[in-house]
Amino acid sequence: MMFAHEIAEQVRTGKRSARAVIEESLARADAVQAELNAFISIPRAAALAAADAIDKKIANGEDPGVLAGVPVVVKDNICTKGIRTTAGSKSLEHFVPPYNATVIERLQAAGAVVVAKANLDEFGMGSSNENSAYGPARNPWDASRVPGGSSGGSAVAVSSGVAPIALGTDTGGSVRQPAAFNGIIGYKPTYGRLSRYGVIAFASSLDQVGVLARSSKDIALVMDVMAGHDEHDATSIPEDKPQFLASLNAADLAGIKIGLVTELSGEGNTEGVLAAISRTKDLLSRLGAQVGEVSLPNAPYGIATYYLVAPAEASANLARYDGMVYSTRIGENALGQAEVMMKSRGATLGPEVRRRILMGTYALSSGYYDAYYGKALKVRRLIANDLEKAFSEFDFVLTPTTPTAAYKLGEKSSDPLAMYLDDIDTVLANLAGIAAVSVPAGKAEEGMPCGVQFLAPAMQDEKLIRLLSALELAQGETFAPLSPFKG
């Protein structure tokens, strides 16, 4: 699969038809699905109809859009009009949205075509894609391993060549972690730069749509299309005028200061991940950047903070899935509304979702609010303060994306705490609302890919993608290769 900017150029100039591109993408999706279970829905008829409409526009001399004919895979918690959207849950098994999320509306207006809805951990709650009600997705580098989560299916789609672009959501690292596990780019924008309208909520102060890709130019292209204020989303940043493509250049990194977080770059990481950090430091130095060390004293408390704030918000957001108005109703002959609600929630929400709802409800309950949730909000502010201080000295902050490469299916599913700890590097950006990107960093243990993470101050997203572009240019074809999966 070519890059998105290459596909769009060929379709717009008539070198390839949109239908031919989408047929190729759908065939690849079928092969990937058969072995890796990366998708929940593949809307074949709708995708081909959209491709034919683009070809008709071109034949009539109309502008088909800057993303003409580009196949896009969308995480299945982002609403797509007329295409089933389940959030990886049995509670929404039959939900077909009557409207598009804003990010989908803007992509389609630019000529992009949705070819698949990607598998995910239920409601975005998980780091391995093993919590999906539709079975786990598998890693295309090694099908016995997890692809990461919760945007695991989206990462598999890009890494295995189904589409050059996939959308995910990132609440605590759910775009960046699977990107690292699959050897691709995972970008989480500053909170508010992409509209959340039409995204099924998990934790509203943390959720953010993100992009998975193999090219900085592709990310810049789709961000220029999707970003910008949305009147449907009160958290969308006013007066935001994205300038991603215009900001890309081939300049070196002379004068750029990058701080490696001491608390996150030592004990707890595997040797392969530490080697990747070392290689990245050497590359940055060769490109002219100054790499030093920076301390984030409250970073070790990020996991505890996140796993109080996020479940508390989930407890409120998921209260609606009670079998009365939303969700599948269970127990039509039950004795009263309360019994219907209990049976519906018990039968349609998976164990990890139920666990987090219980955690969040407890943290918000009378007598415990100040001790848990209220205290977590104070530590969240301290973490943001640490990052602000770091950015007063450095342009970017560097950490591993994850402490390990992808692990075996089932290896951590019986130990939720061990899986939660894998998010130690990624939750910081969500808690502070800043931009972050996971960059491919070669191989770690057993030939599995891994990533490093760069964090940037809020609204410095274009500079972050420019840094990504410099690293990509320096490494060429070895930067984010497709996985070896043949299908």
CB 173 within 8 A of CB 403: no
Q: Please give the Cα distance from 284 to 467 (Å, whole number).
A: 10
The CA distance from 408 to 419, in Å, is: 12
Catalytic annotation present for 343: no
Whether the CB-CB separation of 40 and 88 falls below 8 Å is answered with yes
Question: Are 467 and 253 within 8 A, CB to CB?
Answer: yes
One DSSP character per residue, 1-65 reads ---HHHHHHHHHTTSS-HHHHHHHHHHHHHHHHHHH--EEE--HHHHHHHHHHHHHHHHTT----
Local structure of residue 413 (DSSP, 8 states):
T
What is the torsional sign of CA 236, 217, 63, 18?
A: negative
Answer yes or no: 443 catalytic: no
Q: For every residue of 77-97, which 3-state class applies, written as one string? A: CECECCECCCCCCHHHCCCCC
Identify whether 174 is a catalytic site residue.
yes
102's tokens: 């804003």
Which among 89, 128, 150, 236 is annotated as catalytic?
150
How far is it, in rounded angstroms, from Cα 292 to Cα 397?
Answer: 10
Catalytic pick among 174, 195, 216, 344: 174
Name the pairing type of β-strands 209-213 and 165-169. antiparallel
Which residues are bridge partners to 452 per DSSP?
400, 439
Out of 17, 25, 41, 75, which one is annotated catalytic? 75
Q: Looking at this protein, which amino acid is placed at residue 295? A: S
Distance CA 103, CA 86 (A): 18
Kindly list the catalytic residues. 75, 150, 174
